[in-house]
């Protein structure tokens, strides 16, 4: 019989699309603090008028009013918490929809984690390549780390395929690697 192997800790992140006419970046970060630790020098990437597909435009409003950010936690934790983090982001999305009395979402929050070997996103939607975590939440392998770089997969979202985003995740992985090394030496 083999023994269970517990994986190394990970860094959590949130990919977020929001309407900049309804939120400032400071308000968005306050909402995300409920999900990930961003209190000490987080890695943040923000872009306006990014290439968002029609799905978000139809649900959230005019394309030019949408902003895309990725916020990476400044700490690391157990992978098991991804289910809880997705449930929290679902609640935040509902609260914000009710706050603005909207049918669609004024913001879309997708939590995930970065391990040394993979990036996994949490989602509510089943699909053939997604693994069921429980409570209506699925995990999607977005990148795998091979030959010293992140590799996309056939289902990796278009905005996660951009070189500047892959580079951002490389920086986040490097930070995690340093944190894990320091943690092991203590």
Given a contact cutoff of 8 angstroms between Cβ atoms, the answer to whether 53 and 161 are in contact is no
pLDDT in tens, the chain (186 residues): 889 888 999 999 999 888 888 999 889 988 998 898 875 556 677 776 556 556 677 778 766 678 888 888 888 899 999 999 999 999 999 999 999 998 888 999 999 999 999 999 999 999 999 999 999 999 999 999 999 999 999 999 988 998 989 999 999 999 999 999 998 887
H-type helices in the chain, by residue range?
25-32, 54-60, 82-99, 163-185
Half-sphere exposure of 16 (CA within 13 A, CB side): 31
Residue 118 pLDDT: 98
> Could you tell me if residue 3 is inside a domain?
no
Residue 59 pLDDT: 79
Look at the chain and report how many structural domains it folds into. Answer: 1
How far is Cα 173 from Cα 7, in angstroms, rounded to an integer? 15
Residue 5 pLDDT: 87
The single-letter DSSP state of residue 24 is: -
SS3 content of the chain, % helix, strand, coil (to 5): 35, 30, 35
Given a contact cutoff of 8 angstroms between Cβ atoms, the answer to whether 170 and 162 are in contact is no
Residue 40 pLDDT: 53
How far is Cα 103 from Cα 93, in angstroms, rounded to an integer? 11
55: domain range?
11-180
Residue 130 pLDDT: 96
């Amino acid at each position: 019989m083999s023994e269970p192997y517990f994986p190394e800790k990970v860094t959590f992140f949130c990919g977020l699309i929001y309407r900049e006419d309804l939120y400032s970046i400071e308000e968005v970060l306050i909402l995300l603090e409920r999900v990930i630790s961003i209190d000490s020098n987080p890695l943040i990437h923000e872009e306006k008028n990014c290439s968002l597909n029609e799905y978000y435009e139809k649900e959230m409003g005019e394309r030019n009013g949408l902003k895309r950010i990725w916020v990476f936690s400044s700490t690391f934790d157990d992978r098991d918490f991804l289910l809880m983090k997705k449930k929290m982001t679902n609640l935040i999305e509902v609260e914000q929809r009710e706050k603005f009395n909207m049918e669609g979402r004024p913001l879309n929050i997708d939590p995930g984690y970065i391990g040394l070997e993979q990036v996994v996103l949490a989602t509510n939607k089943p699909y053939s390549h997604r693994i069921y975590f429980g409570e209506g939440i699925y995990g999607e392998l977005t990148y795998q780390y091979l030959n010293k770089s992140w590799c996309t997969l056939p289902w990796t979202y278009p905005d996660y395929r951009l070189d500047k985003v892959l580079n951002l995740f490389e920086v986040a992985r490097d930070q995690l690697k340093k944190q894990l090394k320091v943690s092991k030496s203590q």
